[in-house]
Amino acid sequence: MVKLFFSLLITLIFIDIIYSQYVSPIRINYYFNDNITIVTNSSRYYFTKWSLLRHVAKRDDVRLVLDWTCNLNVNNKEERICTTSMAGKMAQLYGEDWYCDAKSGTSNQTYSNHLPDSLYPFPIIYNYTKPSTRGSTITVSGEYLRFGTGNPFNIDHVTVVMTDRDKFYTDNFDCQNIRFDFPSGCGTVVFNLNEHVSTFNTNIQYMNPSINNSTITFNFDSNNVEQTSKIQLIGNNFCNNVSLVNVSIGNELINTYDMISVDHDEIQFNYNSSKQLYTEKVPIVISAGGTPTLGNFFISFGPIINSINSVPSSTGGIVTINGQRLKLPPQPSSFTNISNINEDNYNKNLYKILIGNKECNYIQSTINQLTCSLPSGTGNNLSISLIINDIGVNSNQSTIITFSYGIPIIESYKINGNIVTLYGSSFGETNKTLIILNDKIHSTTTPSLKDHDDLVQVFNNESMLTFKLPGNLVNANVSIKTPNSKTSNTIQLETQLFVQSISSPKTVGSINPLQLYFINSTNENSIPQIKIFNNNSIVITIESNTTSKPNSTSYDGSLPYQFLFPKGCGKKIIQVEIGNQIVNSSFSYSPPTTMYCNRSNSDSMLMNCFGENFGTTSHGNSDNDKDDDSTTVITFSNQTISTISLNDTMFSFKLKESFYKSGLHIRVCGIDSLIDYEIKLDSFLKSISMFDKFNTSGGYILINGDYLSLDNIKPSFKCSGDNLSYSSNYCKLINGTEIKCLVSSSGSGSSINKTCSLYLNDIEQIDKKVQIFYHSPFVLNFTTTTTTIKINTTPTTNTTNTASPLNGTKTTTTNKNNIMSSTTFKRIPIYKSKGGQVLIFGGNFYDPIESVTIGGIKCINPIFIDYERLSCNLLPSSLKSKDESSSDQLLYVNVTVGGQSGGEYIFKYDNDEMNVNENENNDDGDDNDHKRLRWLVPVIIIPIVFVIGGLSVLAFIFKKKLPCFSQNNDLKNK
């Protein structure tokens, strides 16, 4: 056991001796370009010299010697500080091996050995040049880059060769700027720079990819529809590993399977360019191993033209370009919302369209269509230049689109029966443009024919053409050839069986022909049938009683057939069937026609009318006044009449006194008579009367009788006193028994005994007179005014222009003498104590105004303004009216015209000025009492003092002159 203990002790002492031979620094500091400082324990070994060796052949050459100066730390005797100067020596810090000399701090024992790796400094990198993705020489700049040997360097355990390895053993090696031959790669790699410090790694980033140029190869099918395009990018540092390369166009990442090839200087990939809806420049970004392109690179997607219309040479017109990307992308709302400017107008200067050498002025565009206005001109196959925001038309289209003036283009068609309407452009001229059907020129008639449907007619600036299609062409290819020998595109017309009714059947039933067009050749010998649908859901089927076979020399595809139509009326929906062809159509029965009417010989009040297609059932006087498919409605004198008898050719009805001369209108099952037969009834005059009392401006007179009509009689009136004739222009027929006429004979009251006489056709009816009575005046409102009246003695037409006088107005009127006056009113207050001018509103006023009173007070100098207004001057008054029981009581306004009076409680004074004055006087009286009291002493008392004083003086004088007076008094006293 003892032996084992001593063995362990000896081993530990040996290890301590061995360990103590090596320098174990407490800390080490490297100061760039200045010094290196190592602090050790004062009792242990410390460095005295470092020697940097380089191996040349078999010889070790000392490259650099660093001598250390060591001293005890004055602040801590247990530490030793050793320093070596690095001034001017940093550039020599490269070699293959470091040897160090050390000395013991206690026994002065020395040793030499390799410098421990732990003491090597970390390299300090200032910067480096990025390598190309193909691989290139880079320079790493910094300090302590090559403290030891010249290798190894590696990237992910792959050795990187130092470029200037051959200079490593010379004095020309720059250890602060070391060059390396970097291999191919991309992105960022981890680079181990020092074999002595294996944990020291630095990130080296390959160069950013850069795009120098791009090429788009657009692909189009035979119809110029855009297909998948190929994009080629030319540049640098793209990398050649497809798994590490990402390409983005706009916000879209290109899929790996769309990549065609990837190399350091070129990338090719497929791209669905049809996704680009607008003409614009789209940013493109490449990421190589996570390293993106620097700066912005854009790829342009320009407009594509698929087709273009033509316009007439003589007038020019609107050019429509169809294609793709024909519009700029929409701008942000904050950009375009400039006074609500239309976006097309805002951007119109960014669109430049040149056709040949003529500018086509931009109008508007969508994604797939652009329109512009092209002036007149000539030329074929003119080039089209379309530039949108400096981006031109994409090339590589399978067909180069050009423009030619005057080329007809058929865009669509419509067939109505056998009339074809073509829509498009540049259709030429009426009756000069040729129609080509199935590669043969269609023969049309000359313009001298009356049937214009047979002509080729061109409308709407050569954009619409109509022609008549032959009935034998079930389906046809159609094109046109214009007078300038230019032929349009060809379209196929799809025709259907078409029915044309030659004439309408009679309501009693009749044989009528139908013309059928576009019959298939397999159905030419078939017998057609017609199904007639009625509103009562009853279907009647009829067959043609003839078979029309085509004549090989004249057959044009349309065949006439005879049908026996049943009894009926109105409009009918039908279905025509011939062979396997069916078509829906309609026809109408013949309209009712009245040939003549006369009175019955046995009954003068019975009217008989004769004609055809009258139907069989009268509508009569039923409350149901709606059209019905099985009824006949007859109206006369604006009344629905009841028939006594009715059949298809005759009907009878009773006359009424209220009937008058008018047209007889017949509606059979919704079909109206084309011409109303006029029945003339002789008017019979009975009497005339007033409709009501006249207003002062005039009124209505009624004419009573039987079968009255303003066509038979022309009533007019003349009234006594005015010598004017009132014509029938102001008469209205109420019914056959009454005519109402407006007679504008002005007047008032009834004392003048005015009468009006009736004239018929300017002949006076002696026994037809009526005395006129007028309504009494009435009042509605008032205002107080000042009035300025201007009189113009020139006769004028009766005119009244009225506005509310409350805020002031100017009124132009005429009185009964036809003298025009201009009156201006202005609202002012009116006081009872002062009176004033009053404007009264009402009706049935007349000139002269006899009198006006307000609350019993006369309103003098009344002036007639018009039939609804007058003015007068209200006298002032200090008396309380019997109508004025309180300050809020309204006063009665009475107006007398033509011996008739009328009025209303409407008037009220403004604040009474007299009461205000009385109150003011009371206040003044109080002040006067004070003034009287002040003057009381000098005015009353002082005179009294003077009187008393004067009497005293007189008494004294009197006593002096009469001495006995005093003696007698003395005697009395005795």
**818 has pLDDT over 50:** no
Of 78-87, 332-341, 523-532, 838-847, which range is least confident?
A: 332-341
Q: How buried is residue 264: exposed, middle or buried, by Cβ count under 10 Å (0-12/13-18/19+)? A: buried
Q: Which secondary structure element, helix H or strand E, spans residue 920, and what is its range?
A: helix 913-936
Q: What distance in Å separates the CA atoms of residue 531 and residue 543, rounded to the nearest whole number?
A: 9
| Residue whose token pair is 């015209």 | 897
For residue 97, what pLDDT is reported?
75
Q: Among 329, 309, 328, 304, which Cα is nearest to 319's?
A: 309
Q: What distance in Å separates the CA atoms of residue 650 and residue 670, rounded to the nearest whole number?
A: 19
DSSP per-residue string spanning 495-512: ---EEEESSPPPTT-EEE
The share of the chain scoring above pLDDT 90, in percent, equals 33
For residue 398, what pLDDT is reported?
60
Q: Cβ of 938: how many Cβ atoms within 10 Å? A: 9
Q: Which secondary structure element, helix H or strand E, spans residue 767, and what is its range?
A: strand 763-771
Show Cβ contacts of residue 730 under 8 Å, excluding neighbours closer than 6 positions.
741, 742, 743, 744
Q: Is 509 or 10 the better-scoring residue by pLDDT?
A: 509
Q: Is 167 or 180 the better-scoring residue by pLDDT?
A: 180
| Residue whose token pair is 């620097």 | 294
Confidence of residue 901 (pLDDT cuts 50, 70, 90): very high
pLDDT, tens digit (0-9, with 9 covering 90-100), for 390-447: 998 876 666 788 999 988 989 899 988 788 999 988 888 888 899 998 888 876 544 4
Q: Which secondary structure element, helix H or strand E, spans residue 335, and what is its range?
A: helix 333-336
**338 has pLDDT over 60:** no
Q: What distance in Å separates the CA atoms of residue 783 and residue 806, rounded to the nearest whole number?
A: 7
Phi and psi at 953, nearest 5°, equal -65, -40
Q: What distance in Å separates the CA atoms of residue 137 and residue 333, rounded to the nearest whole number?
A: 52
Show Cβ contacts of residue 245 under 8 Å, excluding neighbours closer than 6 positions.
186, 238, 239, 259, 262, 267, 286, 287, 288, 289
For residue 524, what pLDDT is reported?
79
For residue 805, what pLDDT is reported?
38
pTM score, two decimals?
Answer: 0.50
Of 89-103, 403-417, 873-887, which range is least confident?
A: 873-887
> Do residues 419 and 466 touch, judged by C-beta distance below 8 A?
yes
Confidence of residue 22 (pLDDT cuts 50, 70, 90): low
Residue 848: cis peptide before it, omega within 30 degrees of 0 = yes
Q: Is 890 or 98 the better-scoring residue by pLDDT?
A: 890
Q: What distance in Å separates the CA atoms of residue 69 and residue 71, rounded to the nearest whole number?
A: 7
Q: Cβ of 309: how many Cβ atoms within 10 Å? A: 20
The share of the chain scoring above pLDDT 70, in percent, equals 76
**656 has pLDDT over 70:** yes
**796 has pLDDT over 50:** no
Rounded (to 5) percent helix, strand, coil in the chain: 10, 45, 40
